[in-house]
Amino acid sequence: MKMDGLYTALVTPVKDGKVDRKAMSKLIDYVIAGGSDGLLVLGGTGEYASLSHEQRVDAIKICIEENKKRVPVMVGILSTGLPEAITMGKLSKELGADSVMVITPFYVTPSQKGIKNYYLSFAESVDLPIVLYNIPFRTNSNLLPETVAEILQGTDKIVGMKETSPSYLQATHLMSYFGDKITFFCGEEPLLYPQLLAGCKGAIMASSNLFPSFFKEMISRVQSGNVEGAKEMHFQLIPFLKSAFAECNPGPLKAAMKYVGLDCGDALLPLLPPGPELSKILYKDVDNLNSWIKKNGL
C-alpha cells in the first residue's frame, strides 16, 4: 500500500454530545479541496481519549461516509491496552477504513521489547495496513529505530510511521534506515521543512485543518526543488505555530477554526478554549497567515 503526501489529522466536531455530521462533512470537503491526500480520523487532534466508544465509532462512520472514497481514510487508535486496540482495529476494518495508526502503549511505560510485542500482537489480530505512532512527550515511551527494525522483521503489515519526537537526529536515523521500506510521516509542524529536505515523503498535520493548501504547497515546493520557496513558507508559519500550540492541542486549533467559519465546537474536557489574551494573539496570527496565503494565490 503506497502512502505519502499530506494527511490531515481531523478534529472531531461534537455538538450536544454527538459527532456533528454536518460540521465534519464541511471540514472534509474543505481539506480535500485544499489538497489533502488522505484523512486521519480519531488521532490526538481528534481527541480520541476524550470521546466515548460510541462517539469514536460514529466519527469513523461519518468520516468514511462523507469522504465518499475520495482519499484514503486512516483511523487513529490511541488505546492504553491491547484488547481495546484490537477491538478498534477490527471495527475500523469493518467500517471501511484503509489503514490504522496505532500509538505506542502509554501510562504503563513499557520496555522496547514490550512495545515490539504489542505491535506484533496487534498486527497478528487486525487485517489492515498499520502506521506506527511515536509521540514520546505524550506517552512517556520512545519507539527507538532499533525497535522499529525488529517490528518490521516480524510483520509485513507496517506501511508507515508517524514520528512526533522533537529529535531531528532520531527522525533522520529512521528515514535513513527505513525510508525505502515504509512511509515516514512527519507529525510535528515545526520540523516539517527540515524533514522534507531530509527525504520525508509524508506529513500528518493538525494545522492542515485550517491551512491544507499551505502545507500541500510546502511539500510540493520541496519535492520540485524550490527549497528557498519552502523555507519562506516555514518562516511564515512560525508565529501561528507558537500561538496554536501555546496550550494543549486542539484547544487553540478548534478556536481558530471557529474564528474562520469552520466551527467544529470547542475542545472537549478536560481541555478548555483559549482565554482572551491568547485568543487575540491567535486570531491575529491566523489573519496574517491567511493574508499571505491569499497574496500567493494558494
**pLDDT value for 3:** 82
- Active-site choice (133, 157, 193, 254): 133
| pLDDT over threshold 80, residue 2 | no
| pLDDT over threshold 70, residue 151 | yes
Known active-site residue 254: no
**pLDDT value for 179:** 76
Res. 35 pLDDT band, cuts 50 70 90: very high
Known active-site residue 162: yes
- Active-site choice (157, 162, 201, 216): 162
Region 141-169 average pLDDT:
95
**pLDDT value for 1:** 58
pLDDT digits (tens, 9 = 90+) for 104-124: 999 999 999 999 999 999 999
pLDDT digits (tens, 9 = 90+) for 37-56: 999 999 999 999 999 999 99
**pLDDT value for 291:** 97
Domains of the chain, by residue range, sit at 5-226
pLDDT digits (tens, 9 = 90+) for 10-28: 999 999 999 999 999 999 9
pLDDT digits (tens, 9 = 90+) for 57-101: 999 999 999 999 999 999 999 998 999 999 999 999 999 999 999
Domain spanning 5-226: CATH superfamily: Aldolase class I (3.20.20.70)
Convert the chain into a string of H (helix), E (strand) and C (coil): CCCCEEEEECCCCEECCEECHHHHHHHHHHHHHCCCCEEEECCCCCCHHHCCHHHHHHHHHHHHHHHCCCCCEEEEECCCCHHHHHHHHHHHHHHCCCEEEEECCCCCCCCHHHHHHHHHHHHHHCCCCEEEEECHHHHCCCCCHHHHHHHHHHCCCEEEEEECCCCHHHHHHHHHHHCCCCEEEECCHHHHHHHHHCCCCEEEECHHHCCHHHHHHHHHHHHCCCHHHHHHHHHHHHHHHHHHCCCCCCHHHHHHHHHCCCCCCCCCCCCCCCCHHHHHHHHHHHHHHHHHHHHCCC
